[in-house]
Amino acid sequence: MTKKKYIRLIFGLKLKQLRQERNLSLTDLSAKSGLSISYLNEIESGKKYPKADKIASLAEVLGISFDKLVSLKLVRNLAPIEELLESNILEQLPLDHYGIDINKLIFLMSNSSMQLSALIATFIETAHSSELSQNNFSRNALRNFKEFNENYFDELESSVRVFCRENNLKAIRKLNPQNIKAILELKYNYNIDESSLNEYTELKELRAFVLKGKKNKLLINNSLSDIQKNFIIGKEVAYNFLNIKDRSFIYPGIRLTTFDHLLNYFKASYFSTALFINSELLIKDLEKFFSLSKWNENALLDIIDSYNSTTEMFFQRTCNIAPKYFGLNKFFFFRLDHEMDTETFRLSNELRLNTQRNFNDLQPSEHYCRRWISFETISRMKAAIKKNKNHSERIAGVLHSKFFESGDEYLSISVAQRSTLENKYISSLTIGFQIDDSLKGKINFLNDPKVPIKIVNDTCERCKILDCKERVSSPTYALRIEREKKLEEALFKLKEKFTD
């Protein structure tokens, strides 16, 4: 929220509060101050901020000093609203995208009971003491936004087609990145620098940075692969072609402090991915791949290599196309990052569509189920690196996963790869299509007897498979839930015994 908007809202709340304390209607205040009722209403709703002479008139009518009226401090019962406005929580909630006027919401809250004020205070305290304040609101909102649209955005797809027509770019399998680079440099007045960023060791994990000026400068980390550089250039083209102003200038998006920043970062990524992976060509490739009667790791990797794209771009694009053109609208997708020579695994870039699987909600202290295909492909990659320290070829795998508690089944496909920025990191990208009647008729290699079937779970801590050989932590969460259940049962029996 901008400083001006914040000041308007606080002043409006304060004026309304003082007016009501003095039992003045808007008509009364209008008659005594000489300001129109409509103007006073706009002030109280946070839409207008009066000039000094009008503030002086209002202060005189209300019997309060000028300084006290313009003070940004609210009385105690409205203090939680003040704290809410001062925090960045509202900026992370996409209220306007859901048709909610923040001004109206604030004034509804200002008229609420003390109980609701207490609830707001508790909400803020919880947010500050957890990761809720660290972009989780925005990221959860964006996930829901994607799910609502089934992860396919006609407007962005159309924008890519228009861009290609305007710049005479044909729908070919390997779009020439030099053409995209030339458009950014000549049409949008950019200078691309692939050396300066690497002069600072502190910025080695930064992929790119944009310096705005008369001639914009795009600084790209030279350690990136050519495909990764092309993707960033494509995103910069997207920001300009889509005329997106409210954005982050850092890659990756580590400073996406508002929902609009995050949404616009997503739009630019979607545009760039759709630019380099043509939808019509990908549909044909997926039709051919899904029609295979046997799982073929090389067939998948060959398709990925046939485009100027990274594995992650390919999986993301598949997540766009599968629901729209194949009816595969129940799936999860995530990236698992692992630092070699450690037991550290970090889940990132998680997406789910019409499924209950929500890996992002699992606690960071818990240990993800080692039966996932993601861990198998990472393990295979580590073994290959052990044999050859320079190994960098991708490894793919497939698994028919059955979740122990829910019984949900997924056909999970995973590709592991080595980081181009730091060789000690391995990432696995996994997409799991929920197995239902729709999928059974569309992906033939589901019936391949060589596709392994495994019972899996979310984390070791939540898993009741006590004889699991892959277990790396005790089932503390599951045992606690079991104890609580037995306690409830015992209390119920006790109650029945003493109830006539």
Which burial class, exposed, middle or buried, applies to 156 when counting CB atoms under 10 A from its CB (0-12, 13-18, 19+)? buried
| Partners of 395 in the β-ladder | 416
pLDDT at 84: 62
Beta carbons within 8 Å of 453's beta carbon, 6+ residues apart? 399, 400, 402
CA distance 394 to 429: 11
Q: Do strands 345-353 and 425-434 pair parallel, antiparallel, or not at all (unpaired)? A: unpaired
Tokens coding 487:
């306690």
Does this model's pTM top 0.85? My answer is no
Are 33 and 23 a contacting pair, CB within 8 Å? no
CA distance 406 to 356: 9
Identify the CA nearest to 417 among candidates 374, 372, 368, 378.
378
Rg (CA), the chain: 28
Q: Do strands 331-339 and 425-434 pair parallel, antiparallel, or not at all (unpaired)? A: antiparallel
Q: List the pLDDT tens digit at each of the 500 positions of the chain.
A: 556 776 787 788 888 888 888 899 999 999 999 999 999 988 888 888 999 999 999 999 999 888 888 886 665 555 566 666 665 555 555 556 555 566 666 666 555 545 555 555 565 555 554 444 445 666 777 777 888 888 999 999 999 999 999 999 988 888 889 999 999 999 999 999 998 888 888 887 789 999 998 899 999 999 898 999 999 999 999 999 999 998 888 887 666 667 788 889 999 999 999 999 999 999 999 999 999 999 999 999 999 999 988 999 999 999 999 999 999 999 999 999 999 989 889 888 788 888 877 776 667 788 999 999 999 999 999 999 999 999 989 999 999 999 998 889 999 999 999 988 788 899 999 999 999 988 988 999 999 999 999 999 999 988 988 888 999 899 888 888 889 889 988 888 888 888 75
Which residue blocks in 388-442 are alpha helix, DSSP H? 437-440
Convert the pLDDT of each residue in 343-378 to its tens digit: 889 888 788 888 877 776 667 788 999 999 999 999
